[in-house]
Structure 1
Amino acid sequence: MQIASRSGGPVPDIASLLARLAADGGRPRLTWYGDDGERVELSGAVLANWASKTVNLLVEEFDVGPGTSVVVDLPVHWRTAVWALAAWRTGATIAVPDASVAQPDVVVTDSPERWADGGADLVAVSLPALARRYDGDLPPGAIDAASAVMTYGDAIGWVPEVEPQQDALVTAAGTVGHKDLVPEPGAGARVLVDGRGAVADLLRHLLGVWAGGGSVVLTSPATAAELEHDDARLARLLSTEQAQR
């Protein structure tokens, strides 16, 4: 499915991308197919709204901004995209767990017990769509994202100025700066994205699709593996979502 581009030209940064998503109304920009048949669809406006609330949490709770190191220890998931967009909007540096980061300032994770003794501020993320609280024991001082995010405003309040020369993404393979974070825009299509890739690579893929005015149908790794061996189910999904590979 080809989607008429509303991108208005190249997207220089995450702030511009979020502004375009917010102005995009109700058409889907991210559709998630998780394990056990979970399907979540976010319009551009809803995706930007989630990101805005999360930006406010990061800034108000942790003073996140340029120079802040945020480890995103989450699997491929629609919530991972939201947290990445929010952290980048503050100008922070995102690192994935396999990157060499001496001491992160904030860790966003679905497994807070792994980071309980690390000294970083912790945010515990519940992945199920209907979760209203973290289903488990929280380390002392950790914030439960499921309940906390919803208490913040829908519009971004004060946020630090992003420094284009600062690192935006740190992986074992290297770094990407904020000025180069958003890839060349895609063709404006609705595309099926296999969730078995590296989280960092998939996040940048999503940025490129959105920058081109396109839309993403993202599968969990388990769902992607199932689709690989079920041609009929894959064909139904592509037809239902009007997406292409």
Structure 2
Amino acid sequence: MNATDRTPADLLRSALAADPARPLVTFYDDATGERVELSVATFANWVAKTANLLQGELAAEPGDRLALLLPAHWQSAVWLLAAASTGVLVDVDGDAAKADLVVAGPDRLEDARACRGERIALALRPLGGRFPQPPEGFLDYAVEVPSQGDRFAPLAPVDPEEPALIVAGAELSGSELVDRARLDAPGLGLTGPGDRLLSTLGYDTWEGLSAGLYAPLASGGSLILCRHTDQAAENVLQDRIDSERVTATAR
């Protein structure tokens, strides 16, 4: 990663320039048996499409607050980077009533209805599938995002000193987030390209977000993000660690 990177979006651009084909995020859901592997290029494409949805279709502006009511999931990671690309402030597990827009999974739709702005629902089905029946009052992300552009350019440059993330009550600017992720990386066993971190942590704390996205991105490493590991036998997780050539874990 470049020393001049000051926002999460900068980190992703540097990763794309360095090696677009390498795996960036590999996601497992042990409740469904899902496995998804996203290269840097594929992940960046999802981010670009989602950022275009935010800026274009949803008319989100820098400084708008997005309540993110999603678990640790590859699509949650996409939304975090898309918001960073547009200057939208992400409030993880935030109060939807205080947000300008809300993004929610299937188990948080009732909480999300408190938002008076745009509401986006994610089915979190394997392969990014849509809802069988779109939830009333929500846009279905899986329906809206495919038609968005594959390249994104913000209407205004994102200020790295503006608030970018709120998690567990702590607010971080883009530059603070990048600095903390870089500092966390060595302690998580991430020292450079080739390192592969497996995380079973949730996204409701900084520790979970750092291990489950930002530190691997800041270090040039790769992430294996696992959900519902309580439904997998211990030997399944160990086999995964071996097969994915994991070099470090956060559990």
TM-score (norm 1): 0.86
Task: Say yes or no: does 1:138 pair with 2:135.
Answer: yes
Matches within 5 A, 1:104-143: 104-111=99-106, 112-140=109-137, 142-143=138-139
TM-aligned CA distance change 1:127 to 1:198, over 3 Å: same
**Residue correspondences, number:** 233
Q: Pick 1 or 2: higher relative contact order, CA cutoff 8 A, min separation 6.
A: 1
What is the alpha-carbon distance in structure 1 between the residues aligned to residue 62 and residue 14 of structure 2?
A: 23
Given that residues 196 and 222 in structure 2 are in contact (C-alpha distance below 8 angstroms), is that contact kept between their aligned partners in structure 1? yes
Once the two structures are superposed, what CA deviation does each residue of 1:136-186 show, in whole Å capped at 9, x if it has no partner? Answer: 44223x221101111011110343321223211113332111221122154
What is the alpha-carbon distance in structure 2 between the residues aligned to residue 145 and residue 102 of structure 1?
A: 20
SS at match of 1:161: coil
RMSD over aligned Cα, in angstroms? 2.1
Residue of structure 1 aligned with 2:238, choices 211, 235, 238: 235
- Match of residue 214 from structure 2: 207
Once the two structures are superposed, what CA deviation does each residue of 1:197-218 show, in whole Å capped at 9, x if it has no partner? Answer: 6355322332111111100111
What is the alpha-carbon distance in structure 2 between the residues aligned to residue 113 and residue 139 of structure 1?
A: 11
The letter for the 1-side match of 2:245 is: Q
Given that residues 6 and 174 in structure 2 are in contact (C-alpha distance below 8 angstroms), is that contact kept between their aligned partners in structure 1? no
What is the alpha-carbon distance in structure 2 between the residues aligned to residue 101 and residue 196 of structure 1?
A: 19
What is the alpha-carbon distance in structure 1 between the residues aligned to residue 116 and residue 206 of structure 2?
A: 24
Given that residues 163 and 172 in structure 2 are in contact (C-alpha distance below 8 angstroms), is that contact kept between their aligned partners in structure 1? yes
What is the alpha-carbon distance in structure 1 between the residues aligned to residue 206 and residue 143 of structure 2?
A: 26
Task: Say yes or no: does 1:187 pair with 2:181.
Answer: no
What is the alpha-carbon distance in structure 2 between the residues aligned to residue 113 and residue 100 of structure 1?
A: 12
- Match of residue 28 from structure 1: 23
SS at match of 2:145: helix
Farther off after superposition, 65-74 or 194-203: 194-203
Given that residues 103 and 120 in structure 1 are in contact (C-alpha distance below 8 angstroms), is that contact kept between their aligned partners in structure 2? no
What is the alpha-carbon distance in structure 2 between the residues aligned to residue 9 and residue 165 of structure 1?
A: 16
State the shift of 1:119 in Å. 0.9
The letter for the 2-side match of 1:31 is: T
Which structure 2 residue ranges, 5 or more long, are not aligned? none
What is the alpha-carbon distance in structure 2 between the residues aligned to residue 55 and residue 197 of structure 1?
A: 20
TM-aligned CA distance change 1:235 to 1:138, over 3 Å: closer
Given that residues 10 and 211 in structure 1 are in contact (C-alpha distance below 8 angstroms), is that contact kept between their aligned partners in structure 2? no
The letter for the 1-side match of 2:239 is: R
Farther off after superposition, 235-244 or 183-192: 183-192
Residue of structure 2 aligned with 1:37, choices 11, 33, 36: 33
Identity of paired residues, percent? Answer: 32
State the shift of 1:10 in Å. 5.9
What is the alpha-carbon distance in structure 1 between the residues aligned to residue 215 and residue 127 of structure 2?
A: 28
- Match of residue 219 from structure 1: 226
TM-score (norm 2): 0.84
Over 6 Å off, 4+ runs: none
TM-aligned CA distance change 1:197 to 1:64, over 3 Å: closer
